[in-house]
Amino acid sequence: MQAGKASTCVPALPVDMSDRPSIVLGITHSQTCLVLTGRLRALREAGFHVTLISSPGPLLDRIALHEGVDHLAIPMKRGMAPLSDLVSVVRLWRALRRLRPDITEFSTPKAGLLGNLAAWLCRVPIRIYLLRGLRLETSSGVKRQILSATERLAAACAQHVVCNSESLRAKALALRVAASGKLKLLGDGSSNGVDVERFSPGSTDVRKRLGLPSNAAVVGFVGRLTRDKGVPELIAAFDHVLKAAPDTRLLLVGWFDDSEDALSQDLRAYIDRHPRIVRTGFVADTAPYYRAMDVMVLPTWREGFPNVVLEAAATAIPVIATLATGSRDAVLPEVTGLLIPPGYPEAITEAVLQLLRDPERRRRMGTAARARVSELFVNERVLGLTVALYKSLLMEPLGTDAAALAKAAAAVEG
């Protein structure tokens, strides 16, 4: 059996609607529902009754409808808000008491803490903390101590901590978020994988629509425009790139996120008035935008496992990413792209100019990147591992994690 395909030997769950096991997936902000596209559907099609919980917002309704699952809006604040958090925990506890799920999977920092705490209070039989990244990595002082304590509490309330990448698992272990036996990695990482049919090389009208010259080199970025994503360094580097390659354009496919690591108003204004920078704002379907790029850059300070790197790779676009946690797992250096240290605009400048000046090298890297994604990170494989693990946990709720993981891997890999 090919590595990228899910096996049909995973045991089927009951067909009777009333007998279907119930799973609740929770995240903090409705916009993050986008990262659950495909995951919700895969669980539903595998026989689970799926309920999605997040703060209210149009994307919660839209994604739940698109994936064919139930949803529930419970406000949760991203930042530190003790009184508001207490109210959220009570609301989550009430919801879980009513839903009586067999499994909960909470992820993102605030939902990970509040949701896992509520699930523990409700004694949900199987509690999963999906660790998508560690915000504490870019914090310091008292704030870092608080975030460290909350991560450990979230992990303590869960029975299984599924990490998004190998380097994230290693970092969580080093920071004593949880014991080694509780920290798990499925396959080669990623929570969703990528749809290699949707994200694929091809033509696009994005350049024409955005006024990007057809012969100009386009450096791309996809994601939230924040400090932790390395946007300040990217902007500084791009101004140096322009000195060597004046016709280059920077395509920012993302939005100014009002999070704790938000960009300053001055930098936002500079980006929007820059004659060589195009900012799209939030884009629901990013696939055509990758095809308009020659190189993608993700100068992030921290990740779990960046989906945007997989999407660019599937589109045969070489990626410049950083050696930060999670980010370094997504690129094979000198094969599918380049890895640089975070926080150095000069490193971004050098890497971008290297690739822009060598079209054949870009082509080879893009071809290798798509091949790697198709082998290891196609969504059928990644989601198949998740489904198989959760079914194994249902069948042997008192068994060992190692046994469940082994059965999940054997079921999907064939």
What is the percent of the chain with per-residue pLDDT over 90, rounded to a whole number?
85
CB 309 within 8 A of CB 331: yes
Average per-residue pLDDT in the chain? 91
Mean pLDDT for 211-218 is 95
Question: Does residue 78 register a pLDDT over 90?
Answer: no
Q: How far apart are CA 414 and CA 407, in angstroms?
A: 11
Closest to 321 (Cα-Cα) out of 196, 234, 396? 234
Q: How many CB atoms lie within 10 A of CB 210?
A: 15
244-276 burial code (b ≥16 CB/10 A, e <16): eeeebbbbbbbbbbeeebbbeeebeeebeebeb
Mean pLDDT for 372-379 is 97
| This prediction's pTM | 0.87
* pLDDT, tens only, 140-184: 999 999 999 999 999 999 999 999 999 999 999 999 999 999 999
Q: Within 13 Å, how many C-alpha atoms sit on residue 61's CB side?
A: 3
Transcribe 40-73 into DSSP letters: HHHHHHTT-EEEEEESS-HHHHHHHHHHT-EEEE
Residue with tokens 């080199």: 217
With cut-offs at 50, 70 and 90, classify the pLDDT of residue 251.
Answer: very high
pLDDT of residue 14: 45
142-164 burial code (b ≥16 CB/10 A, e <16): eeeeebbebbbbbbbbbbbbbbb
Mean pLDDT for 340-349 is 98
Q: How far apart are CA 236 and CA 240, in angstroms?
A: 7
pLDDT of residue 284: 85
* pLDDT, tens only, 42-63: 999 999 999 999 999 999 999 9
359-386 burial code (b ≥16 CB/10 A, e <16): eeebeebbebbbebbbebbbbbbbbbbb
With cut-offs at 50, 70 and 90, classify the pLDDT of residue 399.
Answer: very low
pLDDT of residue 6: 38
Alpha helices in 2-137 (DSSP H): 39-45, 58-67, 82-99, 109-121
Q: How far apart are CA 318 and CA 315, in angstroms?
A: 9
Residue with tokens 């970092």: 171
Q: Reduce the DSSP state of residue 164 to 3 states and report it.
A: coil
Instruction: Quickly name the fold that domain 17-193+380-413 has.
Output: Rossmann fold (3.40.50)
Question: Does residue 8 register a pLDDT over 60?
Answer: no
pLDDT of residue 405: 55
User: CATH homologous superfamily of domain 206-376?
Assistant: Glycogen Phosphorylase B; (3.40.50.2000)
CB 296 within 8 A of CB 314: no
The ranges of the chain annotated as CATH 3.40.50.2000 are: 17-193+380-413, 206-376
With cut-offs at 50, 70 and 90, classify the pLDDT of residue 374.
Answer: very high
* pLDDT, tens only, 264-306: 999 999 999 999 999 999 998 999 999 999 999 999 999 999 9
With cut-offs at 50, 70 and 90, classify the pLDDT of residue 197.
Answer: very high
Question: Does residue 30 register a pLDDT over 60?
Answer: yes
